[in-house]
A = this chain, B = another copy of it.
Amino acid sequence: MDNIRTIIIDINGSDKGPENVILGASLLLAKHENVKLTLVGNKDLINESINKLNMAKDRVKIIDSKEEITNLDNIATAFFNKPNASVLLAIKELSNDKNAIGLLSAGNSGAILMGSVKYLPIQGVRPCVAAVVPSELGGWTCMLDSGANIDTTSSNLHSFAILGRDFMRQLYGIESPKIGLLSNGVEPTKGNKLVKETHHLLVEDKTLNFVGNIEGSRAFSGDCDVLVTDGFAGNQVLKATEGTAKRLITDIVKYSKKNNKPEFMEIAGYLKNKYDLSSLGGAIVLGISKPIIKCHGNSNENSFLNTGEMLLNLAENKTLFEGK
């Protein structure tokens, strides 16, 4: 069969356990006959799941790993002490296997970033993790960094702006993506030390269509296509957005029950579908030689199907992540 695509999946890191990740993998395998999978993790557990789920064994390769880097680990230490952690072996395999089009992992963002720097570097580029979120205007906003680069410099943020511009240009066909800078006010005088320094760099770079500071309340308004931020603040905006959407939806459900108005469940369902950011699958690592998608820790099996399909889409666009 032509056009075989190998997707690597790290089975660890999901809140729902490795079995749920493999369930997602099985959906991807069943839906796409041209897909081969390389599953990285506990071999016995993987074999058990493969049998239970009746997966096509001839299209599954297993790389055994008994180690895992968790959110409790200090990343810098774990990176050296757990060289055979599933996430690192998975990234290594992505680098070595010429047929592999990408990797899915719900593992630790910091570990993914360090593994990427080691195995998939692009000279002079610091990778970052971008979240692509539906905007109020109906398009998409690429926020980067979304939670992996926690302590950054203004020069890092400047390079994130360039990565985001190229990504939105290549994947969404936006000729001159609008670049915004997350701040605590729209005025150029607003921001912490990092943001003020970055503001200057973005103004000076005439290759960027810099539209200025953007407040957290308008992060995904569509005011910009690319929202530049350090991973700490970006993570706050993303999680506060998700948390608030969930909270209002829960309010509607409660209100509906309390007032005996089941018709309001329709609006809860509509919003739940629209704001289920986790079903969008996750965030994408930019600035490396092959794509990695960082799945949410609370991903379910459908997230792995969706993100697997994102990798298949990316594979159609050969310029993405290449030739930077």
Contact = CB atoms under 8 A, between A and B. Distances in A.
Interface of A: 71-75, 136, 147, 150-151, 182, 184-185, 187, 189-193, 195, 215-221, 230-233, 235-249, 251-252, 255-256, 263-264, 267, 270-271, 274-275
A190 to B, nearest CB: 7
A246 B192 CA distance: 26
B217 A150 contact: no
Contacts of A221: 243
Contact of A232 (B74, B195, B235): B195
Nearest to A77: B189
Contacts of A150: 184, 191-192
A67 B271 CA distance: 46
A182 B240 CA distance: 11
Contacts of A270: 251, 255
A321 B217 CA distance: 31
Contacts of A237: 216, 236-237, 240
A272 B156 CA distance: 39
Contacts of A247: 136, 220
Report, nearest first, the 9 A-B pairs whose CB atoms are least far apart: A217-B243, A216-B239, A240-B240, A217-B239, A244-B244, A216-B236, A184-B235, A216-B240, A192-B232
B217 A184 contact: no
Contacts of A255: 267, 270
A150, A218, A220, A264: which has the most chain B beta carbons within 10 Å?
A150
Given A240-B244, A251-B271, A252-B271, 8 more contacts: A71-B189, A147-B184, A215-B235, A216-B236, A216-B239, A217-B242, A219-B243, A244-B248
15 contacts: A71-B190, A72-B187, A151-B192, A184-B232, A216-B237, A216-B238, A217-B246, A219-B240, A220-B247, A237-B237, A248-B271, A248-B275, A251-B270, A251-B271, A256-B267
Contacts of A244: 240-241, 244-245, 248
B216 A235 contact: yes
Contacts of A245: 244, 248
Contacts of A256: 267
A133 to B, nearest CB: 11
Contact of A233 (B233, B251, B271): B233
Contacts of A263: 263
Contacts of A242: 217
Contacts of A185: 71
A251 B249 CA distance: 12
A115 to B, nearest CB: 18
Given A74-B189, A191-B232, A240 B217 contact: yes
A64 B270 CA distance: 53
Contacts of A72: 187, 189
Contacts of A74: 189
